[in-house]
Amino acid sequence: MMTELSPDIRTALERQAIELPSWAFGNSGTRFRVFGTPGTPRDPFEKIADAAQVHAYTALAPTVALHIPWDMCDFDDLRKHAEDHGVALGTINSNTFQDEDYKFGALTHEDDEIRQKAIDHHFACIDVMHASGSRDLKIWLAEGSNYPGQNDMRARQDRLQDSLQQIYARLGDDQRLVLEYKFFEPAFYHTDVPDWGTSYAQVSALGDKAMVCLDTGHHAPGTNIEFIVMQLLRLGKLGSFDFNSRFYADDDLIVGAADPFQLFRILFEVVRGGGLNNPDVAFMLDQCHNIEDKIPGQIRSVLNVQEMTARALLVDRDALAAAQTANDVLAANAVFMDAFYTDVRPALAQWRESRGLPADPMAAYAASGYQQRIAADRVGGVQAGWGA
């Protein structure tokens, strides 16, 4: 018997939106090589066109995040191009990790001129936000040290706070700063923003328009990510949520690939904490596709999130609360597991068809011939990838 999705669940799923990253459509690879593929976009306009395919088949991805300077262009034209393709421009991501000057830091650098250069880059990103209509400036810093004694860790935190204060002061009234964290890489001894607590401490000192970005791949193996989700929602500081999947750390695999149960647990806390369809919490994919085709990789990812969201919404919250109150450990776990083991795919396929969408978006995209067309048409020029 097929599981039925209640009207409330269908309404919640209709409102679900997951931003796509422009860089997911460019070439990427390992630390040793970037791999090229036929049909890879050569500019931001082609990235937007590919991202629009994901939204067309799933109705789940209405916005596309940009990376500066990788996606520099005429943003008035890009904004109209996105609208013509049925999507909009989203989060602006800064880049202070690919410039020779930033070898020993950017927003934390001891050299005032280099640190000002990094601050000015973020000012330029805010200018892009004005042109693109974007709300959020997302900052990830590849900063830290490799050896004990190499740097004064406290002084770096002080310089980071000063830099962020200057950037924060430049934001418009309706704009936000979102600070991402990552527990290691590329620094080996210490990382300047390694965990949610450091990000929280930094943004809390800035003000209400500064939030934490949680990336599901940016934790040590075994970390209880759903606890962090709960805590940041509880504190009102979860501003952005980046989906990917990892076996070690930040492998950038399709979300849910490594641990579907973890994805379910995370999404349950998102639902329980009021984060689902909350305009203050931006959900985005942050992953690259090295060996799989990029557009179907993104389609599969947003569908994985949708499927686990549906399961999370199926949890009988009243029965769970009763079991928890009674300290009935096994009953509480059974309520949780019943929802996780429910196969919602047939019900979602039927629901998609009722909305004029393909029951199987992956198959529909494969049959469309789009992949073959872009492989044939996009000949010449320079394919986009890391650094472009």
Q: Which domain holds residue 170?
A: 7-377
Q: Which residues contact 269 (CB under 8 A, 6 or more apart)?
A: 226, 227, 229, 230, 233, 275
DSSP bridge partners of 136 = 176
Tokens of 328: 């009935």
**How far does Cα 78 stand from its chain's mean position?**
21
Which is more confidently placed, 179 or 3? 179
Domain assignment present for 248: yes
17 contacts 283 by C-beta, under 8 angstroms: yes
CATH number for the domain including 187? Answer: 3.20.20.150
Beta-sheet strands, E only, within 32-187: 34-35, 63-67, 88-93, 136-139, 144-145, 176-180
pLDDT, tens digit, for every residue of 46-61? 999 999 999 999 999 9
Question: Given the structure tokens 């952005």, which residue do they identify?
Answer: 240
Across 62-98, b (16+ Cβ under 10 Å) vs e yields: bbbbbbbebbeeebeebbebbeebebbbbbbbbbbee
Question: Given the structure tokens 């997302």, which residue do they identify?
Answer: 138
Q: Quote the CA–CA distance of 103 and 96 in Å, as a whole number.
A: 10
- The pLDDT of residue 388: 52
Residue type, 259: D
Q: Quote the CA–CA distance of 25 and 370 in Å, as a whole number.
A: 14
201 contacts 264 by C-beta, under 8 angstroms: no
Give the DSSP letter of residue 36.
Answer: P
Please determine, for residue 188, whether its predicted confidence score (pLDDT) is greater than 70.
yes
290 pLDDT band (50/70/90 cuts)? confident
Domain assignment present for 384: no
* Total domains in the fold of the chain: 1
Q: Quote the CA–CA distance of 164 and 203 in Å, as a whole number.
A: 8
Global pTM reads: 0.96
Cis peptide before 69 (omega within 30 of 0): yes
Domain assignment present for 288: yes
Domain assignment present for 383: no
Residues making up the chain, counted from first to last: 388
Q: Which residues contact 248 (CB under 8 A, 6 or more apart)?
A: 221
| Long-range pairs of 371-376 with CB within 8 A, sequence gap ≥ 24 | 371/39, 371/293, 371/295, 371/296, 374/38, 374/39, 374/46, 374/50, 375/38, 375/39
Please determine, for residue 25, whether its predicted confidence score (pLDDT) is greater than 70.
yes
pLDDT, tens digit, for every residue of 80-137? 999 999 999 999 999 999 999 999 999 999 999 999 999 999 999 999 999 999 999 9
Domain assignment present for 67: yes
**What average pLDDT does the chain have?**
96
∠ CA 348-352-358 to the nearest 5 degrees?
A: 115
- The pLDDT of residue 2: 72
Give the DSSP letter of residue 100.
Answer: G
- The pLDDT of residue 1: 65
Q: Quote the CA–CA distance of 217 and 208 in Å, as a whole number.
A: 26
Q: Quote the CA–CA distance of 102 and 89 in Å, as a whole number.
A: 28
Domain assignment present for 382: no
- Among 144, 255, 249, residue whose Cα is nearest residue 198: 144
69 contacts 122 by C-beta, under 8 angstroms: no
Mean pLDDT of 192-216: 98
Domain assignment present for 250: yes
Domain assignment present for 386: no
